[in-house]
Amino acid sequence: MPKWTKDIEAVEATTQATNGNSDPAPQWKYDVFLSFRGVDTRVSFLSHLSHELENSGEIRTFKDDKQLEIGEDISQSLLTAIEESRSAIIVLSKNYAFSAWCLDELTKICQCMKGKKRILPIFFDVDPSVVRYQKDTFGVALQKHARSGRYDIVKVEQWKADLTKVGNLSGWNLKDYKTERDLIEHIVKFVLKTVRQNT
């Protein structure tokens, strides 16, 4: 079993123990919110992952199929969907950080984590350290945003902090699996187990 999977299951056990005597969990509209960069993953991996999650018959999934034009802000309906989701799967691909829209989703997801949400990162052809320290394409993307003049320094620094936070979380690394299908099957099983434990 890959190390990342072991870490995730350990977090799950800790969460259950911690929340054992807490107030009843809120009623979520969605079990999973999918955050992704379409240019990297939409056609193959993301479409298959979304299909398998929904095909389980028990996992309510939110996947936004719209593409914002350059300069558009993330919509309020999308922010609301994040608030109404039990957990978030973030597909961290090479071009993820080039999208300000994706980074705004990430920030909102990190904010909602304080409300006992679950953040589940997938490192898709990207090493966790690249996300954690904003190296390679992630570093280039943040520099591009900072130099564009469209985003103030506070927002850019928040994006960096949230990428560091998510890069430090346990998740799934594509390189630990023989095929994308194997990874998807494992993710669906894990999410399904989590949903059943909370119903």
Nearest to 119 by CA among 47, 52, 34: 34
Question: Active-site residue 105, yes or no?
Answer: yes
**How many contiguous H segments (helices) and E segments (strands) does the chain have?**
9, 5
Say which of 105, 157, 180, 185 is annotated catalytic: 105
Contacts of 11 (CB under 8 A, 6+ apart): 170
> Residue 43 in contact with residue 91, Cβ under 8 Å?
no
Exposure b/e, 134-144, CB count within 10 A at least 16 = b: beebbeebbee
Cite the active site residues.
105
